[in-house]
């Protein structure tokens, strides 16, 4: 897009009362009205200019919505400047929490552009030791949504960084790696599952996210398999459930027997997920096997019967729809 357009930016800025606005709602109405006089290629340039000048949270959030709608590359430097140069933004917005909220929303808009040029500034904020942890979380999520593999190694470094005190930042990095889906991340994810003590073992939701990420990445090898076996014995039911799902999708011939072993689990949700996984891998025969086995726990039989009934009901409803 041509950026050197001869537009009356400063006059529009004044007419719309973008700076020091005493009535943000009225200013937003005036900005909205500009669409009757300017084409879209000019509007986005006006929105970019206003975004660099406004000191109103309401107006800035409105402009972000407009910028997000257009997803024009001309907005990238404007957004990145406000994200990276937080002190510059703070000169216009004095409240630090408000500055943080604006920057978080900037990361969301950058994520929606899917622009690989946004990766480096997002990583810059993510790796800054002085950065607000909420912004870091949002940056990690944005990197995952953009999906550029250049971000994989820096995200892995966050998982391995013992000086990164926020377990939530690590969790976001794990989720981002799952969204990107690069096999290079497998070892770092498995390390989380292998942990025996300390911070990583204490926060089981980090293991849950690691398993969810592995479920989106192609992997091979005994190290991963052994980590999944360990996860099946984890004290967290959700970790065990996630491990069952990863095994179900792993194409490993050993998965069926391992999942069968989870039919003896003490947690009903774990047993239910094991039954569903076995049905997905084997089919109807496994349900009959579970129901008729004299040594099978009652919970497993109940869940198998319930799944059978649900499947029959679905078949009946599907048949009725086809008849109509």
- pLDDT value at residue 321: 63
Average per-residue pLDDT for the chain: 91
d(CA 208, CA 187): 16
Report the Cα 318 to chain-centroid distance in Å. 34
36 and 57 assigned to the same domain: yes
125 and 218 assigned to the same domain: yes
Say if 64 falls within a structural domain: yes
Q: How confident is the model at residue 163 (pLDDT cuts 50, 70, 90)?
A: confident
Say if 120 falls within a structural domain: yes
Comparing CA positions, the residue from 115, 209, 112 lying closest to residue 155 is: 209
How many domains does one find in the chain?
3
Comparing CA positions, the residue from 180, 177, 84 lying closest to residue 131 is: 84
d(CA 95, CA 201): 37
270 and 229 assigned to the same domain: no
Q: What is the mean pLDDT of residues 101-130?
A: 94
Q: Is the pLDDT of residue 3 over 70?
A: no
- pLDDT value at residue 269: 97
* Helix 167-180 and helix 204-214, axial crossing angle in degrees, nearest 10: 10
74 and 121 assigned to the same domain: no
Instruction: Give the domain extent around 261.
Output: 253-324
- pLDDT value at residue 256: 96
Q: What sign does the dihedral 271-276-281-287 (CA atoms) show? A: positive
Q: What is the mean pLDDT of residues 302-308?
A: 95
Say if 322 falls within a structural domain: yes
Q: Is the pLDDT of residue 200 over 70?
A: no
Say if 15 falls within a structural domain: yes
Say if 94 falls within a structural domain: yes
135 and 78 assigned to the same domain: no
**Which residue bears the tokens 């774990």?**
270
Q: What is the pTM of this model?
A: 0.82
d(CA 34, CA 43): 8
The region of weakest confidence among 28-32, 116-120, 148-152, 204-208 is: 204-208
215 and 171 assigned to the same domain: yes
């Amino acid at each position: 897009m041509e950026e050197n357009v001869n537009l009356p930016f400063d006059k529009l800025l004044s007419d719309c009362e973008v700076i020091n606005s005493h009535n943000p709602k009225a200013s937003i109405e005036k900005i909205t009205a500009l669409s009757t006089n300017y084409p879209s290629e000019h509007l986005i340039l006006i929105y970019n200019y206003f975004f660099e000048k406004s000191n109103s949270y309401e107006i800035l959030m409105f402009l972000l919505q407009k910028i997000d709608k257009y997803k024009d590359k001309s907005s990238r430097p404007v957004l990145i400047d406000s994200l990276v140069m937080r002190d510059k933004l703070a000169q216009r917005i004095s409240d630090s929490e408000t500055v943080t909220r604006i920057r978080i929303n900037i990361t969301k808009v950058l994520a929606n552009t899917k622009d690989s040029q946004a990766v480096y500034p997002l990583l810059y904020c993510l790796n800054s030791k002085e950065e607000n942890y909420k912004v870091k979380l949002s940056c990690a999520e944005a990197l995952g949504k953009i999906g550029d593999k250049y971000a994989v190694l820096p995200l892995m470094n966050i998982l391995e960084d013992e000086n990164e005190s926020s377990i939530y930042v690590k969790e976001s990095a794990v989720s981002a790696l799952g969204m990107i889906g690069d096999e290079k991340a497998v070892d770092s994810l498995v390390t989380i599952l292998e942990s025996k003590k300390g911070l990583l073992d204490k926060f089981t939701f980090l293991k849950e996210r690691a398993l969810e990420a592995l479920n989106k990445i192609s992997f091979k090898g005994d190290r991963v398999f052994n980590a999944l076996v360990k996860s099946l014995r984890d004290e967290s039911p959700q970790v065990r459930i996630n491990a069952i799902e990863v095994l179900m999708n792993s194409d490993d011939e050993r998965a069926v027997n391992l999942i069968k072993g989870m039919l003896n689990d003490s947690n009903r949700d774990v047993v239910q997920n094991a039954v569903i996984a076995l049905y997905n891998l084997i089919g109807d025969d496994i349900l009959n096997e579970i129901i008729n086995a004299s040594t099978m726990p009652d919970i497993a039989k109940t869940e198998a019967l319930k799944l059978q009934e649900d499947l029959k009901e679905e078949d009946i409803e599907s048949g009725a729809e086809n008849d109509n």
